[in-house]
Amino acid sequence: MSSPPPGRTRRVDLVRLREKLPANVADALRRYERHLALERDLSPHTVRAYLGDVVALLGHIAGDSPERADIGAVDLASLRAWLAAQRNAGASRTTMARRAAAARTFTAWAVREGLLAQDPGPRLAAPRPHRTLPSVLRADQASEAMAAVSSGATEGDPVALRDQAVVELLYATGVRVAELCGLDLDDVDYSLRVIRVLGKGGRERTIPFGIPAERALRRWLDEGRKDLVTPYSPAALFLGARGGRIDQRAVRRLVHEVVAVVPDAPDIGPHGLRHSAATHLLEGGADLRTVQELLGHATLATTQLYTHVTVERLKAIHDRTHPRS
């Protein structure tokens, strides 16, 4: 029998640890969870990660006696010791940076709630995460991927029509997979050819899409969706095979399968299509601020990562083609 993956093992351990915490700490964590979900409007995944980090922090401080855990014991020394333990256990720079951010968010909240006298969070230094260059499709590879998914829809199978519309819209708009799966029918404005999405932090934005995506969407809605809809189907733009809202895992699997048929293309998922869309926009002359708005990045620094991608691609072309490179 194979052992469970490390991520699942850690989640199980954190659940057990949380169950052993004293009642007053458990109550504080429930209030903190509501704060993250309702006041900060963070995604369920982020709430779960931040809460798990705080539970791990309190468990580290309490040692072998989690039933004696005390939020008041959180100070700069204990935060540094916790991060040092993460580093010694082999945690990546990205993971440590996330956990430090979770700790700072928690200590700031704890001070406001009167659970800590002083906030040690601002003095907690953590390594910056590595900013790796994302894998992207070339423009010709993206065209081949769109052609591949289009050929699958020629016979009018409803799932194939949906898949074509999904892939076309992902590449046309650069939306996140969660944003795409959350789209409803009335989020599409065909007169302006735009979609309205609800992004991270509850921020809404409007994104244009092109004629190929419009054609794929209209065909899916006119010919395909009616064959998947049931009396219990939501008003979702994209439906799964059983009539419910399409699942993110199904979209990820679809994109991997489509890209796999393109010769020499990197193995990418929906986020890779998002990277590709941003890169092709910049290569086509779009400015950073426009791309930032389209992608829904909170800061321009995140969008600037794509400028490195385009520079690396230009250097590669130069090295390959210039006689004195």
Kindly give the confidence (pLDDT) of every residue in the chain, 325 residues in length, as a single tens digit, with 9 standing for 90 and above: 344 344 444 665 778 888 888 899 899 999 999 998 888 877 788 889 899 999 999 989 888 888 888 999 999 999 999 988 888 888 887 788 888 888 999 999 999 999 999 999 888 876 665 556 668 899 999 999 999 999 888 888 999 999 999 999 999 998 989 999 999 999 999 989 999 988 776 778 888 899 999 999 999 999 999 999 999 999 999 999 899 999 999 999 999 999 999 998 999 999 889 889 888 888 887 777 777 777 776 666 666 666 655 555 556 655 666 565 4
Residue 113: per-residue pLDDT: 93
Of 123, 154, 182, which marks where a domain is finished? 123
Same-domain check for residues 202 and 278 = yes
Same-domain check for residues 116 and 151 = no
Distance from C-alpha of 37 to C-alpha of 39, rounded to nearest angstrom: 6
16 is an active site residue: no
Same-domain check for residues 79 and 223 = no
Same-domain check for residues 200 and 288 = yes
Residue at token pair 């050929």 = 151
Distance from C-alpha of 101 to C-alpha of 54, rounded to nearest angstrom: 11
Distance from C-alpha of 181 to C-alpha of 240, rounded to nearest angstrom: 10
45 is an active site residue: no
Of 74, 89, 123, which marks where a domain is finished? 123
Same-domain check for residues 236 and 289 = yes
Amino acid making up residue 276: S
4: left (phi over 0), alpha (psi -120 to 50) or beta: beta
Distance from C-alpha of 250 to C-alpha of 248, rounded to nearest angstrom: 5
Same-domain check for residues 49 and 172 = no
Cβ atoms 102, 35 nearer than 8 A: no
193: left (phi over 0), alpha (psi -120 to 50) or beta: left
In a domain, 172, yes or no: yes
Residue 10: per-residue pLDDT: 60
271 is an active site residue: yes
Same-domain check for residues 106 and 153 = no
Distance from C-alpha of 277 to C-alpha of 170, rounded to nearest angstrom: 9
**Among 58, 274, 63, CA closest to 171:** 274
Of 123, 155, 183, which marks where a domain is finished? 123
93 is an active site residue: no
Catalytic pick from 176, 225, 275, 280?
176
Domain count, the chain: 2
128: left (phi over 0), alpha (psi -120 to 50) or beta: beta
Catalytic pick from 11, 20, 80, 271?
271
Q: Indicate the helix (H) or strand (E) that contains 188.
A: strand 188-189
In a domain, 222, yes or no: yes
In a domain, 129, yes or no: no
249 is an active site residue: no
Distance from C-alpha of 236 to C-alpha of 243, rounded to nearest angstrom: 10
Same-domain check for residues 116 and 144 = no
Residue 125: per-residue pLDDT: 77
In a domain, 106, yes or no: yes
In a domain, 84, yes or no: yes
Alpha-carbon Rg for the chain, nearest whole angstrom, is 23
**Among 159, 127, 112, 144, CA closest to 253:** 159
Burial of 116 (0-12, 13-18, 19+ CB in 10 A): buried
In a domain, 1, yes or no: no
Same-domain check for residues 206 and 100 = no
Catalytic pick from 48, 200, 205, 252?
200
Cβ atoms 50, 29 nearer than 8 A: no
Catalytic pick from 18, 98, 225, 274?
274
Residue 312: per-residue pLDDT: 59
Q: What CATH number does the domain containing 77 carry?
A: 1.10.150
Please list, in sequence order, all residues whose beta carbon lies within 8 angstroms of the beta carbon of residue 16, skipping any fewer than 6 positions away: none
Cβ atoms 167, 272 nearer than 8 A: no
Residue at token pair 């769109």 = 146
Same-domain check for residues 88 and 33 = yes
Residue range(s) defining the domain that contains residue 187: 139-321
**CA distances (Å), origin 143, targets 173, 232, 238, 271, 277:** 15, 36, 22, 17, 12
In a domain, 128, yes or no: no
Residue 94: per-residue pLDDT: 79
Residue 142: per-residue pLDDT: 93
In a domain, 132, yes or no: no
308 is an active site residue: no
Sign of CA dihedral 302, 306, 311, 312: positive
Same-domain check for residues 145 and 236 = yes
Residue 323: per-residue pLDDT: 62
Same-domain check for residues 103 and 150 = no
